[in-house]
Amino acid sequence: MRRLRPSLETREATLAVVRMECFAADANGTPRHAGSFPRFVDSLAPYFREIEVAVPRVPPDRIPPEGSTFSAPNVRLVPLPDLQGVRRCYGRAPSALARLWRRARRWDLINLRVPDNFFPFGVALARARRIPYYVSLVADPLATRSSRIASLPPLRRPLARLHGALQQAAFRRGLTGAFCVAHGEALRRVAESSGALAQSLLSASLWDREILLVPPPPGPGNRLLYVGRISPEKGLGILLEAVARASRKDFRLTLVGAPFKGEDRILKDVARRDGLSERLSFLGHVPLGPRLFRIYQEHDLLVLPSLSEGTPRVLGEAMGNGIAIVASDAGGVRDLIEHDRTGHLVPPGDSASLSGALDALSADAARRSRFVAEGLRVARGRTLEAQARRHFEILCEARGTLPWERVGTHHLTSALAPEKGSHTPSIPITHSKKTLCDRFQHGCGAES
C-alpha cells in the first residue's frame, strides 16, 4: 500500500458517511434532504479526497421539493434501499449491506451516527471490512423515549419498549471502545459512560456568510416561534399550556416543523380547548435557508420546551438570526445556552416557569436585546466552517489512539499525519476503558 506525504491538505483519505438520513430525487433527479445534513457533509469536503454518503433513497413525497442537496464536487451519493422505519430497516438491511460491501473497498474511514437504526449494521460492516469507524453522537441513545411510547396505541407499547431495550443494548455494544465525536459535553459524558473515547464538538448549521452582521431592533415581544419536529417529546403541549396561562393575552405562536404521527392534530385540539386557535399558526416543514431565516427574524422569542433533547441546532440558527431564546434545561441545551447570558432556561415540563419567563422576557426589550447581541457573538464562533475545521483536528488528535496502521488504511494514516515538526496531542486513554486497538485486534489483521 502506497504511503502519502504527511500533510493535512493532501485530501488523500476517502470518508464514508453511513446513516439513515433519507433523500429523495426531485423532478430533475437531484437528491434532496429535509434537514441540514448536506451542509455538514459539504463542510467536511475540503478535508477529504472524496466523501461517499450512503443513505436511503425514499419516495419523493416524503421529502419537500425545496429540500437541500450537496454542493461540494467531491461528494458522491450512494443510494440505499428505503430503510425508513424499523421494519424496513431490519428487513432490507441485508440488501443494503450487500451494496455497501462492494463500495467499502474504496473507503479509509467510516462515520456512523447514534442514535440511528442502521448503526449496528454499520458497525458490523466496518468490522468485517476491517475499516476503522468513528461515531457522531447527536442525542442520548440510552434515554427512554417515554413520551413517544406513550403516544402509541396501548397494544404497541410493550413491543416498542422491547425494541427500545434491544436498540439500547446494540448502541452500548457499538459505542464500547469506539472513538466518538459527541455533540456537547452532556453527550460526551453519555459516550464515556458507554465505554467510548469521546471528544465534545457542538454542532452547527450556518455558514459564516449567513450570520447576521448587525443585531435587529427589538420587536413588540409577543411573537413566539418554535422550530423543530412536532412530536410528543418536544413538549409543545406544555408550551400551549404556558401561553394559555400567561398574563399577556396577545401572544401569537408559530410552529415550524414536520408533524410526527398526528401530533399536530392533537395540538390543534388542545389549542381549540384552551381558546388559542386564533393565535396559533402551523407552517409545516420549512427547509433551512433564506425563508426560514426570515421567519426567525420576524419573531421575538424562539421557544424550545423540550422534555428531552440532544444539542438542538435550532438554537444556533436562532442565535445567528438575532432572536432571543427561552428553552427548557433538557439534554445538551445547557451546552449551547448560558442562562441569562445567551438565553433563559426553565425546568423541563414546568408550564408555570415557562409562562413566567415568556411574560417577563416579552416585557423586557433590553434583556432580549442583550441575549440577541451575545447570541450573535457566540454564533460567529460556531459556524459550519469552524465546526469542520475542529472536527478534522479531533480526528488528527485521535490518530495516536486509533489502530489505523493495524487495519492497513495507510491513505488515512498519511492524510491525517501532522506536518513535520508539528505537535498533535493524543486523547488520553484510561486503563479502565477498552481501546479501539483492543477491538480491532480481534479479527482485524492488516490488509495486504
Nearest 5°: phi and psi at 111? Answer: -105, 125
For the stretch 283-329, pLDDT in tens is 998 989 999 999 999 999 999 999 988 889 999 999 999 999 999 99
DSSP structure class, residue 247 = S
Question: Is 94:100 a contact under the CB 8 Å cutoff?
Answer: no
For the stretch 333-373, pLDDT in tens is 999 999 999 999 999 999 999 999 999 999 999 999 999 99
| Maximum distance among all Cα pairs of the chain, rounded to whole angstroms | 72
Q: Estimate the crossing angle of helix 119-129 against helix 157-175, to 10 degrees.
A: 30
Q: Respond yes or no on whether the N-terminal peptide bond of residue 217 is cis (omega within 30° of 0).
A: no
For the chain, what is the radius of gyration of the CA atoms?
Answer: 22
Q: Which of 168, 143, 173, 163 is nearest to 87 (CA)?
A: 163
Can you tell me whether residue 75 is helix, strand or coil? strand
pLDDT range class, residue 174, cuts 50, 70, 90: confident
DSSP structure class, residue 417 = S
Please state whether beta strands 31-32 and 24-25 pair in parallel, antiparallel, or not at all (unpaired).
Answer: antiparallel
Q: Which of 404, 395, 392 is nearest to 1 (CA)?
A: 404
Per-residue pLDDT, 141: 76
Look up residue 396 and give its three cell numbers.
488528527
- Torsion from C-alpha of 312, 317, 319, 321, nearest 10 degrees: -160
Q: In the chain, how many H helices and how many E strands?
A: 16, 15
Look up residue 5 and give its three cell numbers.
506525504
The strand pairing partners of 197, in sequence order, are 179
Question: Is 208:320 a contact under the CB 8 Å cutoff?
Answer: no
* Average of per-residue pLDDT across 9-30: 83
Question: Is 330:307 a contact under the CB 8 Å cutoff?
Answer: yes
Rounded to two decimals, the pTM is 0.82
Cα 37–291–222 angle (5° rounding)?
Answer: 110
Per-residue pLDDT, 442: 31
Q: What is the 3-state secondary structure (H, E, C) of 352-381?
A: HHHHHHHHHHHCCHHHHHHHHHHHHHHHCC
Q: Which of 59, 43, 60 is nearest to 51 (CA)?
A: 43
DSSP structure class, residue 139 = S
Separation of alpha carbons 303 and 312, rounded Å = 12
Question: Up-side HSE of residue 110: CA atoms within 13 Å toward CB?
Answer: 29
DSSP structure class, residue 155 = G
Look up residue 344 and give its three cell numbers.
433563559
Residue with the three cell numbers 412530536? 231
pLDDT score of 32 more than 90: no
For the stretch 95-139, pLDDT in tens is 999 999 999 999 989 999 998 999 999 999 999 998 889 999 988
Separation of alpha carbons 427 and 197, rounded Å = 8
Question: Is 225:208 a contact under the CB 8 Å cutoff?
Answer: no
* Average of per-residue pLDDT across 419-445: 33
For the stretch 200-249, pLDDT in tens is 999 999 999 999 999 999 999 999 999 999 988 899 999 999 999 999 99
Per-residue pLDDT, 400: 54
Question: Is 123:130 a contact under the CB 8 Å cutoff?
Answer: no
Per-residue pLDDT, 27: 76
Per-residue pLDDT, 279: 93
pLDDT score of 46 more than 50: yes
Per-residue pLDDT, 150: 67
**Edge-to-edge, what's the strand order for the sheet holding 223-227?**
280-284, 252-256, 223-227, 301-304, 324-328, 344-346
Please give the domain boundaries of the chain with CATH numbers for all domains. Answer: 14-204+384-441 (3.40.50.2000), 208-379 (3.40.50.2000)
pLDDT range class, residue 399, cuts 50, 70, 90: low
Looking at the chain, the whole-number percentage of residues with pLDDT higher than 70 is 84
